[in-house]
Every structure is written in structure tokens, then in C-alpha cells.
Amino acid sequence: MKVTFKDEVFEIEENTTILEFLKQKDEQLLKSACAAKLNGTLCDLRDVLVENSNLKIFTFEDEEGKRAYWHTTAHILAQAIKRIFKKAEFGVGPSIENGFFYDVVTSPAISIKDFTKIEEEMMKIVKENLEVKREIISYDEARKMFEKDGQKYKLQLIEEIKNKGEKISIYKQGEFFDLCSGPHLISTGQVKAVKLLNLTGAYWKGDAENEMLSRVYGISFLNEESLKDYLTLREEAKRVDHRKLGKELKLFNFVEEGPGFCFFLPNGVIIKNSLIKYWRKEHEKAGYKEIITPTILSRKLWETSGHWEHYKENMYTTIIDEQDFAIKPMNCPGAILIYKMHSHSYKELPLRLCEFGMVHRHELSGTLHGLMRARCFTQDDAHIFLDKTQIKEEVKRIIELIARIYKKFGFSYSLELATMPEDHIGDEKTWDEATDSLKQAIEDFNINYKVNEKDGAFYGPKIDFYLKDCLNRRWQCGTVQLDFQLPQRFNLEFIGKDGQKHTPIMIHRVVYGSIERFIGILTEHFAGSFPFFIAPVQVKILPVSAKFFEFAKEVYNEILNAGFRAKLDLKDEKLGFKIRQAQLEKVPFAIIIGEKEEKTKTISVRERKSTETKETTLEEFLKKLKEME
């Protein structure tokens, strides 16, 4: 038998496991291995290699390795809970972006006070170094096991798996067993440092009609130092939480009367409008034409687009003139209707239509998180209609545009290519063509990217852009989605060079993603100290006393007339207080006006992050501001 590993081909004996193979070929890698991928499928290290296997190993440094590591820790958490609360009933316990959680029902209910003893029990399980084993069992065996253990939620999941015709997979470690598809670590002893982080309520299957379970969140790492670093960053994240800073800086707020709906205050509106102004400027240069489409459109439209079938549970609906209508959750069907209003020639393509479109989506209350997960937000959408032959070059133009805009904010980013999901429309051949076009465009830039299997939109594959902030958190913002399906569904046409009718390809594309969410990311990334060109107040003028108010007003008016946002502080307070207030408001520049400045007709400027004050002329200062726009 042959196996391909790290671009080399090895001869192996039949029934060799991945674990045995690594012991022979790369014992150093074995020490850090968390999971594997065999011929494109994630698996455990105990899985058996087959003829012509293509093997890839994942460590904790890889996302796939982290998921296996955290998923195993979730099982350790459940085992610890079961040892402490003998009659605990379990829901689901997956790995998530940062750690893991487990949904559980106990009597009495788990509280944060229980975290210490649960963590202690988890570390006992780690020290026991229990072997983690996977077994495939029959539906009857599974029902008997979980029924005897009193696991009613697991029994529901078993029925669902049976109805799908899938195999029943369980994992065992010591006395504990769980329904799970894996992959997992070899043993519990590989987990080194654990911390439980939070406790919330969660409806079973996310349905408010179902029972409420306790959701215990946690994190684990390879060592205590990494855990300590993570907890430090977590505390820093609390300090820069956009919801907290939004209130303090009077940018935006949320109220009980509108859960998931943001109220923007004047300072927040300035930031939003500044982002829109910059965006419009870049898109005008790039050949886009801005449109505005209605917020409410008929059910018939959403049925044609496929949203009514695939997305209805997330849509807000209403009845107008005894007909069903929906508040748009996405802007694309509106752009399609605009395209259909006129006939088109190949000479017009690519036709780039862009829109700041407000959309509404019904997110579950438990998932709402300020601007990061809201029910109403504005997408900076663009829908591009083009010929097949134009795909690669157009996607490259989009990548360049997105990169330029992110650079303006100093963001680094990574790319992920998401492929065909199970719940898709259209044939596989068309999907393969679309996916290959995106691959070629990325590879022309020599950019490293990750393939995110089965995570595309239901109508086409996509490229997702992930920003990295100052706390090393990743945020998915930009996306480029290739769509061969909607143009066919809506019978879109253009006249080709041959004089015949052809169906265009459609690209769905955002840069900010949601402008509200982007503001949330910026707020946390800059801890409220926004870049000069979007800062609500760019310059604050601080006269030392009332004696210098008149000259301060002259400076203030000149700054305003030059087109910058300024604020004049005429309060009867000491200068130190005024400077401190400007710092708390995170204003980029404070100008101090006193006797010296009035006499020499100069200004003393103090930058936001500096303790020094520099004397200059107003003319030189305004010149500097223009360079920062």
C-alpha cells in the first residue's frame, strides 16, 4: 500500500493506522498531532490508512487541530460534570471559534460557583490520561446506552441521525461515553491547561419553544502560559468592548424597546457617514454606479430567488393588500430587478452596481451581540453582472479594491475559499467551474488561502476576507460570492458579440460587510481612538481662560472653514481638566490657546497619544490635517 505524506510517497503495510505511521515516520510530529485529514476527510489518528491515502496532520497551530483539541476538552468537561452531578443530562458540546461549550441540565442547576470544582475534576481526568476511543454502533445499541443513562436529548439526536441514514458514532473515555462524529485527541492527557469562562442559558436546538439548558463555556491550551496570555487578552477585550465604548463616547446604544436594533447618536453618525464618504469615493474611482432598492418586496420575488425556501425563518414578513411581502434580508434581488429594467449589451459588462442597503434578519435573542450580531444593519453591497470570460479579472479587481480599503485602516487580512454546501442549488459541474475561477484569481496574487469545505452560500462559492485586530482576533468582513444560479432563476440576459442572448454571471460582493459591524470592529481595534479621517471630533480648542476666548474662536472658525470637525471648549475650568477631558473623548488633536499663542498668533498642539505640546502656525497645522484626510 502507498500513502502520500508531505509530498512524499511511502510504502506501508495493510491496516496501518495513522498513529502507527507517524511513530515510524515522524515521531516529533506525533507529539503535537491533534487530528488528521485522510483523502480530504477529517479523522482521528487511530483511523486506518487505505490504498493511495493522501494524509495531512493537524496540530494545535492549525484550526482543525484546535477544533479537535477543544472538542476533546468539551468531552472532558461533560465527564467532569457527570462525576459531580450524577443525573446530568447533556445536549450538545462542540468546539467553537475560541474554545468550546456544553449544554447541560443538572439538579441543582450549575452556577459559576461550581466552576472551581468542575475545573479540578477536569484536571483529574487529564491526569488519568484516559484513552479516547471511537466506536460505530447500531441504532438499537445507541438507544439502549443513552436511554439507560437518562439522556433524552441524545435520544432525539439519535433519531435525527437515523432519519438521515448516517452511522451512529460514539466516543468513550474511561466511564464516560458521548454521541459524536469527532475527530478527537488520542487521550485526555494531551490537554494541559483549562479554564471555564462563562455560563449562559440556551434553548434546546435554539428554539424558544424548547427547554432552557445551562451552557458552560470554556477554553484550553497546551500550557499555562498560553492560557494566561489568552485570559489577559480577554480582559483587554472587555476594556475595549464596543458596547461599553459606544456608551462612553456617545456613539451608539441599545435599548430594551429595540433588541438587536442600534440607535446611532450624533458622534456615531459622523463615523458612519465618514466611512460611507470614503467608500463612495473609492467605488466611484473603480467604476461602480450606486443604486437604492426598496426595503419591502413581494413574496414572489423571494420565492424566485430561493430565499423563501432557504432563509424564511430569518426573514420578517408582512401582508400588504392581502399579499405576502418580506422585509429584505439581502439586497441582491433588488439589484437584479434594476438590471432587468433595461436590455444590456456585452459592451456594458462588467456592470457594477453598488448599494448601501439596510437589511433585516431575525437573529435569535441569545445570539445578539451589540453591533457584531444585530437584527438590522447596512450592507455595503455590490452586484456585478459580467460574462464568464471576465470572471477572473473582475475578481482580481475586487481583491485589489478590498485590500486598498483595508490598508487605509491598517488592517492585515487572510483569505478563505468556501466551497459548495450540502444545501445548495445548481449542478455540481457549474459549482466546480465557479470555484475554479475564484481559485485562479487568488493564486494570481500569490496569496496564501485556506479552503473552507462546504461553507459556500447556497447559490455559489465565495472568498471570505478575515481581518485581524490588535487583539489577534479574526473578523469575517469582506466577501466575494460567485453566482451562476440567480441570473438563471431571474432569466437575466445580455446580447453577446454574436448578436445572441446570453445569461450573465453575477458577483455578490461586500467590503465592510455590515457597516455597523465594521464600526464595532473599529471601535474595539482602536479602543475608541479612531483614525483621524473618521474621528467624530478631529480637533478640540482649549483656551487657558476666558481672556483668550476671542482668539480661540478665530482659530475654531478657521478650522471649520477648512472642512475639519472641531469643538471649542469654553467651560470655566482649569486647563489640566480640559486636556484630560479631550483625552477621555479620544480627540486626535488638542489646541491650547494662551497668552503666548495670542501674542504670536500661533497655536500649541498636543496629539492624542503624546504628552508633549508643539508650537506651530495654524497654516502649517491645517496643511498637516489635509495630508491626513
Determine the Cα–Cα distance for residues 428 and 288; give it in Å rounded to an integer.
Answer: 31
**508 catalytic per annotation:** yes
HSE value, Cβ hemisphere, 13 Å, CA-based, for 172: 10
**477 catalytic per annotation:** no
Amino acid at the residue 551:
F
DSSP 351-385: EEEEEEEEEE----GGG-BTTTB-SEEEEEEEEEE
Q: Which of 262, 332, 354, 477 is an active site residue?
A: 332
Q: Count Cβ neighbours within 10 Å for each residue of 169-195 and write b for 16 or more, e otherwise.
A: bbbebeebbbbbebbbbbbbebbebbb
**462 catalytic per annotation:** yes
Residue 112, Cβ density class (10 Å: 0-12 exposed, 13-18 middle, ≥19 buried): exposed
Q: Which of 508, 517, 565, 606 is an active site residue?
A: 508
64 closest CA partner among 453, 448, 438, 420: 453
**383 catalytic per annotation:** yes
**381 catalytic per annotation:** yes
Determine the Cα–Cα distance for residues 54 and 430; give it in Å rounded to an integer.
Answer: 26
Determine the Cα–Cα distance for residues 264 and 274; give it in Å rounded to an integer.
Answer: 14
Q: Which of 66, 71, 184, 383 is an active site residue?
A: 383
Q: Which of 75, 462, 525, 565 is an active site residue?
A: 462
Report residue 601 CA to chain centroid gap: 50
Helix axes 115-128, 63-84, angle to 10 degrees: 110
100 closest CA partner among 1, 168, 185, 8: 185
Q: Which phi and psi (to 5°) does residue 588 adopt?
A: -60, -40
**114 catalytic per annotation:** no
Determine the Cα–Cα distance for residues 400 and 287; give it in Å rounded to an integer.
Answer: 14
188 closest CA partner among 125, 102, 99: 125
Q: Which of 361, 439, 540, 586 is an active site residue?
A: 361
Determine the Cα–Cα distance for residues 627 and 240; give it in Å rounded to an integer.
Answer: 29
**323 catalytic per annotation:** no
Catalytically annotated residues: 332, 361, 379, 381, 383, 462, 508
